[in-house]
Amino acid sequence: MSAIEHVLGRGGESSRRRARLATIDDLRGKALSRQIEQLLVQRRTEDAIARCRTAAAAEPGTAYARTATHLLLRACGQGIANAGLDEMLELFTGQFGANGPNLEYAHYHAAVRCYETSEFELAQTRLDRFCRKFPKSRWQTDARVTQGLCMIRRNDHAQALPTLTRALGEDPDSPRAPQVLFLVAWIQLQLGDIQAAREALERLVARHPDSLYAPKARQLHERLPAHLPE
């Protein structure tokens, strides 16, 4: 065998070895996914999180570790406490770097999870942090809308209105635009501005006639009084 053939042969063997390792990592990742899915179905969330953490820490930087970290995100989302979510963000930073795309989603998911568990003040804080940290994120509009929902839940209508209006102004074609317009109309009613509420409802029906919120907007529009009672 010539020197060139020898080198090529070794290179080919190296490529085959990498391919075998990738296949093994893939199979191990799928096996881990099945284990975690079973634990989550059984509502053994803490066991699932512990298993993911162990797998991610054992082989840092590998495809298997990244799979484990993604599974950790799913496990955390099912019901871990807020302190655990903070740990999840730290783990993502370690696995993917401070500016990784997965860290962006982890921040968003952590904030939304707080909203889903009725931790509205904490969710609002985390959503504000997310919007400032990732101003060009694909979830920016969703984050703004959820911020507004947090404020509504806390009866802070005066702050919810500009937050939702900003979300609509920055992304008027968002799939959530009909919802935002309906919320804006509802807030205007709470603040006593019937005309502004009427205009928001009319805008919703005109721009999004086939949306799920259009029938609700029509019904509410028909029930609007000419003015609020003294």
**Closest residue by Cα to residue 160 from 138, 135, 202, 189:** 189
| Mean pLDDT (whole number) for 186-210 | 94
Proportion of the chain in helix, strand, coil states, percent, rounded to 5 = 80, 0, 20
CB 73 within 8 A of CB 106: yes
For residue 69, name the pLDDT band (cuts at 50, 70, 90).
confident
Percentage, residues of the chain above pLDDT 70: 73
pTM over 0.85: no
Cite the DSSP H helix spans in 97-212.
101-116, 120-133, 140-153, 157-170, 177-190, 194-207
**For residue 161, pLDDT beyond 50:** yes
For residue 170, name the pLDDT band (cuts at 50, 70, 90).
very high
| Mean pLDDT (whole number) for 166-186 | 94
Which pLDDT does position 63 carry in this prediction? 77
- More confident call, 93 vs 224: 224
**Closest residue by Cα to residue 104 from 79, 135, 144, 82:** 135
- More confident call, 207 vs 39: 207
Is residue 65 classed exposed, middle or buried when 0-12, 13-18 and 19+ CB atoms within 10 A define those classes? buried
* The two structure tokens encoding residue 159: 């702050």
| Mean pLDDT (whole number) for 128-146 | 92
Domain residue ranges in the chain:
175-230
**For residue 1, pLDDT beyond 50:** no
The torsion angles phi and psi of 68, rounded to 5 degrees, stand at: -60, -35
**For residue 96, pLDDT beyond 60:** no
| Mean pLDDT (whole number) for 42-69 | 78
**For residue 80, pLDDT beyond 50:** no
Percentage, residues of the chain above pLDDT 90: 40
Which pLDDT does position 83 carry in this prediction? 46
